[in-house]
Structure 1
Amino acid sequence: MQHDLTIGGILVSPFVAYALLAFALLAFALLVALRVVFRRIRFGRYVANAPLAEAGIYVCLLALVVVLL
């Protein structure tokens, strides 16, 4: 069980730390690589809203980090 983080006397959920970790380490690097792939395969043709699909991929990466940590 993860304990709350104390930052300046304010309790912060561990989920916030996971979200920052996912964005900083995993999501940023993977999304940059995926954007190159998405441009090659013209990802916008397959989905109605490409930025929304990329946000969904970020949420999946965040869930993976939460499950693994």
Structure 2
Amino acid sequence: MIKQLKNLGPGLLFAGAAIGVSHLVQSTRAGADFGLGLIWALILVTLFKYPFFQYGPRYAAATGESY
């Protein structure tokens, strides 16, 4: 269990730095205001956004370029 938590730690730190406090506050506020009423929007945005998360690393690996 401790080894798993040690492996999880850097990812949690990176996610916390990448997401930021404003996202955390606004997402909890939206959850309090709307409940699960906006879950459809979250699923839709994730489906549209996912290919771009795949494209970037693949492009960088294939061309050796990154910005």
Whether the TM-score (by the shorter chain) exceeds 0.5 is no
**1 or 2, which has the higher helix percentage?**
2
Instruction: Tell me which interval the TM-score lies in, with the shorter structure as reference length.
Output: 0.3 to 0.5
**Greater C-alpha radius of gyration:** 2
TM-score in terms of structure 2 length: 0.34
**1 or 2, which has the higher strand percentage?**
1
Select the structure with the greater relative contact order (CA < 8 A; seq sep ≥ 6): 1
